[in-house]
Amino acid sequence: MTKQELEALAARIADLLSRNGWVPAPIRPEPPGPPAPGHLPAYAGAAQSLSDVAPVVGRKTASGRHRPAYDALTAARSAAAAGRGPAPLPGGRQSTLAGQSSGRTVKVGISNRHLHITQADFERLFGAGKQPAPERPISQPGQFAALERVKVVGPGGVLEGIRIVGPTRKATQVELSAADCRHLGLDAPVRHSGSTAGSAPIRLEGPAGSVTLAEGAIIAARHIHVSPADSARLGVADGDRVTVVLGPAERRVTLHDVLIRSGAAHATEMHLDTDEAHAFGVKTGDAAAITGRPTRARTIPRGGRGSRPLLTERGVDGVATRGETLSEKSPYRLTPLARDRAKALGIWREEH
């Protein structure tokens, strides 16, 4: 037989089978009704959900007859990744802000420029025997905004009326934003509170005198205070590093390597400076969500009175990325290779 004859025979057999009802009907039914605009056609298997084929008796199922087209889901995923909306779930449903469903959220507190001060430096600025006078309490237990203000003087400018946060501390430290530092002409590093070794010099002026600090001006690194009661809820411990999602949909950001500071002296709140708040579109009282697992800090006991995180070579790279420096007074224990790495990166400061 020729090719044309074979094709004619096949067509004749198919016609006879169809007329006699020997070809079974499709075993997967089409969803009822026409598809909505932008959705896959009914005959596409991916357009149908399990409830279209075998509805569950006694349980209400999704009303959508056809699933959203793949290009629509792809666009939604891209928008979510860019911070413009929540991530889509199978079937087109939308997820909430990451972390909210698990309750791992904290409130944001915006920290304006301020300083902590020793008793000796306070007396130099305001007079012998004087102590900071509380004006109002702040979020962290036992701390308060003082009535007294100081003038902060840098090589390129002056800032008036800088708030003192009491009570007095063991070291004087000025916490500024990057914009403040540009105004003052300072090259201050990003540091966590208490880590002032190798930081920028600054001059303080008060009604009774002045204080010049060889180091003490920093840009405060973002961090989260966590109370002991909230530590278990959030799944974090002191010294952990976490990833945080915050901000409105149109400006949502993901922040990595955020330090956890937990203990009896802490109330749960995430602290950002004013520059970050403006950039992320957040304000005091907004929610921030902790996502994923925290990076645990390995510790080495020190005299049975506490511990400092052990810093490895990889950890030193993270410190350098944040603009911090390291020294013998840093709040870390360094491995020999980590110390060599810090010196190679130029962030090691010798103590004199």
- Residue 315: is its pLDDT beyond 90? no
Q: Which of 254, 259, 277, 244 is nearest to 110 (CA)?
A: 277
Mean pLDDT of 267-276: 95
3-state secondary structure of 204: strand
pLDDT tens digits along 80-96 = 555 444 444 444 444 44
Per-residue confidence (pLDDT) for residue 269, from 0 to 100: 96
pLDDT for the residue 23: 52
Q: What CA–CA distance (Å, rounded) separates 150 from 72?
A: 57
Rounded to whole angstroms, the Cα distance separating 252 from 239 reads 25
| pLDDT tens-digit map of 183-206 | 999 999 999 988 888 899 999 999
* Helix axes of 336-345 and 313-321: crossing angle, nearest 10 degrees: 30
Judge whether residue 323 has pLDDT over 60: yes
Q: Which structural domains are found in the chain, ordered by start?
A: 111-220 (no CATH), 223-295 (2.40.40.20), 299-345 (no CATH)
Span 48-88, pLDDT tens digits: 455 444 444 444 444 444 455 555 555 555 555 554 444 44
Amino acid at 107: K
Q: Model confidence at 346, in pLDDT bands (50, 70, 90)? A: confident
- 11 confidence band (pLDDT: 50, 70, 90): confident
Is pLDDT of 229 > 80?
A: yes
- H-helix or E-strand containing 246? strand 241-246
Contacts of 10 (CB under 8 A, 6+ apart): none
Q: Which pLDDT score, from 0 to 100, does residue 35 have?
A: 54
Q: Which of 6-10, 242-246, 250-254 has the lowest mean pLDDT?
A: 6-10
Residue-wise pLDDT tens digits, 124-157:
999 999 999 999 999 999 999 999 999 999 999 9
Instruction: Share the mean pLDDT of the chain.
Output: 79
pTM for this prediction:
0.59
